[in-house]
Amino acid sequence: MALSDVLSNRIEETIGSNRVVLFMKGTPAQPQCGFSASVIEVLNHLTPDYATIDVLADPEIREGIKEFSNWPTIPQLYVSGQLVGGCDIVKQMFNTGELHALVGATPPERTAPQIKISDQAAAAIKQALEQQPGVAVHLQISATWNHQFNLGPAQGHEIKADSNGVEILFDLSSAQRANGLTIDMAETAHGTGFNIHNPNAPPPVKQISPNELKNMLLAPGKIHLFDVREPDERAKACIEESRLLDKDAVDFIERLPKDEAMVFYCHTGRRSQSAADYFRERGYTSVHNLSGGIDAWSQRVDPDVPRY
């Protein structure tokens, strides 16, 4: 599409009004693609002061920003009016420390994490390295605390940790999540595999049934119930004690003690799972997702709540 002067001016005004701005799919609380989620994770490490534009909510901006930047994909990060790039470039600059300098953040701490690898796990890793000479062992720990091994060449920016004669390479975010990590082997239904214990991981999001939520709402004690759906869905049906997860609600959550109980719900439980994961990743330790969403609530607890 040809970029009109009006649209170009809109984009320029947005970029000029915010020192750090991300054009993304979805919102920080609910990214709608993995690449957008990855860049949000990086920005949350660096600065609380950034703006986001949900291109899914504005089709003109979604296509126009590609023409404006001559960059074919989304997300796109701008700092001080200049295009930084997309997900891969942002992650690379974060790991090298270049992005910290660009946004004025404190240089990253690059202390190697203390890890422990059992004899059995060390033997398995050494055997894999013998079969593929010239590669290194990388361990990535995602924002959702998934641990993934892979073999590949070192990029030079990794942080190295040693245990039991084995060297493990971490990217910057993973290294910050890895201190105290233990790696062992265990028997599973699929055979022998690595067993990783990470003491830094917050408790997982707990799935609760509609009846469990009902009991929580009736019991003494504070519980916060958030509706992650769109306003038009909420107008059709809602759980009375809930509040919409809008910007004001997110600001409210950020002021809560990390151990206060929160429950998220949507239509069927999928979108609310993403929202619950988002806050769990930020250190909240009592996060719940309503299994089956409001549709299950209507069927099992309150038939007066309309189904749609």
Of the two residues 117 and 144, the one the predictor is more confident about is 117
Q: Which domains does the chain have, with CATH numbers?
A: 5-103 (3.40.30.10), 116-197 (2.60.300.12), 206-300 (3.40.250.10)
Give the pLDDT mean for 127-135: 94
List phi, psi (to 5°) of 229: -80, 180
- Closest of 65, 69, 96 to residue 82, by C-alpha: 69
Residue 258: pLDDT over 70: yes
User: Mean pLDDT, to the nearest integer, of 165-184?
Assistant: 96
pLDDT for the residue 283: 83
Q: Provide the pLDDT for residue 1.
A: 55
Q: Which of 286, 279, 137, 140 is nearest to 208 (CA)?
A: 286
CA dist 42 and 90 (Å) reads 8
Q: How far is CA 254 from CA 58, 246, 258, in A?
A: 27, 12, 9
With 70 as the cut, is the pLDDT of residue 50 above it? yes
Task: Return the structure tokens found at 260.
Answer: 């206060």
Task: Judge whether residue 196 has pLDDT over 70.
Answer: yes
Mean pLDDT of 228-246: 96
What's the pTM? 0.68
pLDDT at 228: 97
Residue type at 250? V
Average pLDDT (273-298) is 93
70-114 per-position pLDDT tens digit: 999 999 999 999 999 999 999 999 999 999 999 999 998 899 999
Tell me the mean pLDDT in the region 23-46. Answer: 92
